[in-house]
Structure 1
């Protein structure tokens, strides 16, 4: 993978947010009949991949992995091969919606709860009236429902499939159905981005973003979906990441 830096074996893209958006735009415009799987990975995902063989395979077969976390950027600097900036799923989604509003791209949204899914799509339609909504569905799927949803997405042939079912579940779900989603041009997971767009979760204030403390804002203020590990438990992996990626040689 060109233009990457390896952090604990994960090849992170060195493209900026604008460069990543341009890269995806070129893929859409090329008409290449290939599903482009982008992954936004943070220190938690990086550490999890060390012991999760399937996740490690998914990361190495991805078309692009963006650095979704200041820890990744700092680790690249420590390595002497710096990444210019973070490229988070939320920021990338907003950039692509803005670009899609200019170019008439289509999006299918899969994930979060039913009410939030509806509200997020409603807000997106208001803010980006030229974006085509190819479809949407909540993320609480049973195994029996999955084939019908996959068939619906395939039939809709969206430019972008946005998956908001939590990491790394979203990317494992995409990987499981990769062949069946061949008519989709680009797919990536966005974590809780639809919750923010819908207004269910308050985005971090500008000062928190400037200080690279969005993770702390989420830790304190963002609710955790039923069935997911608490954010405090998930953040327990950060010391491991700091030691393995920035201290241990």
Structure 2
């Protein structure tokens, strides 16, 4: 891929947040038959792609892979890739809601528990009144409910299908059903609905400015410490990784 930084074999386009929104805006505007899959590529996904061939295939087939995390950006800069900034799933979702409020885009939200899903939808309706929420469903569904969810999404044909089922399950779910979902764009957003609903507190801007959001989340959610151990492992492996020449 031209104008991209490769991190452990994964190409990340050198795009800012605003440029990413512009790309997705064009996807919404034009007529197309296939679903456009956005993967927010964090260190966990990049590391998993090194041994999980199916996940690597899903990422390779995605329409857009964004740099979800300062770790991705910093490694790219140390290796000369120079990604301009991070484009996290949560921040991108907020930007899409802002743009969607102007363009009157439609959304379907899948994921989180029922109270969180409901609260997130209520806040989105309040803060972005011109956004159309064509449907929503919590993320704790069985096979029978899954069939109904897919049919509901197919009938709604939303501009954006937002999947908050956690990575990489969200990516696998989107890819598995992408031929029948009838959404224009689908994107996994991790725990973003928890943040929108107010269930999980987002790091203050000063923490984000100094790229310490990971520490804020660890302090407020100590149970995440095992997940955070992957960050130093990722940094070492990514910096020592020998990229194959195209």
TM-score range, shorter chain: over 0.9
Q: In the alignment, does 2:232 pair up with 1:232?
A: no
Distance in 1 (alpha carbons) for counterparts of 2:229 and 2:203: 21
Could you report, residue by residue, the CA deviation over 1:169-228 in whole angstroms, capped at 9, with x for unpaired residues?
1001111111111x20000011111101100011101111011111121122148xxxxx
Residue in 1 that maps onto 2:80: 80
**Taking structure 1 as reference, are residues 6 and 201 closer, same or farther at Cα in structure 2, changes over 3 Å only?**
same
**Taking structure 1 as reference, are residues 248 and 178 closer, same or farther at Cα in structure 2, changes over 3 Å only?**
closer
Q: In the alignment, does 2:125 pair up with 1:125?
A: yes
* 8 Å contact from structure 2 (residues 8, 241) kept in 1: no
Distance in 1 (alpha carbons) for counterparts of 2:82 and 2:76: 5
**Which runs of 4 or more aligned residues in structure 1 lie more than 4 Å from their structure 2 counterparts after TM superposition?**
none
Aligned CA-pair RMSD: 1.3
- Structure 1: unaligned runs, 5 residues or longer: 224-229
Q: How much does 1:142 deviate?
A: 1.0
Could you report, residue by residue, the CA deviation over 1:154-180 in whole angstroms, capped at 9, with x for unpaired residues?
100000000001011100111111111
Residue in 1 that maps onto 2:59: 59
**TM-score w.r.t. length of structure 1:** 0.94
Residue in 1 that maps onto 2:30: 30
Q: How much does 1:2 deviate?
A: 3.9
Q: In the alignment, does 2:210 pair up with 1:217?
A: no
* 8 Å contact from structure 1 (residues 202, 222) kept in 2: no
Q: Aligned ranges for residues 159-174 of structure 1 at < 5 Å?
A: 159-174=159-174
SS of 1:144 mapped into structure 2: helix
Q: How much does 1:86 deviate?
A: 0.1
* 8 Å contact from structure 1 (residues 164, 190) kept in 2: yes
SS of 1:180 mapped into structure 2: coil
**TM-score w.r.t. length of structure 2:** 0.95
What is the number of equivalent residue pairs in this alignment? 242
- Structure 2: unaligned runs, 5 residues or longer: none
Q: How much does 1:248 deviate?
A: 5.1
* 8 Å contact from structure 2 (residues 34, 179) kept in 1: no
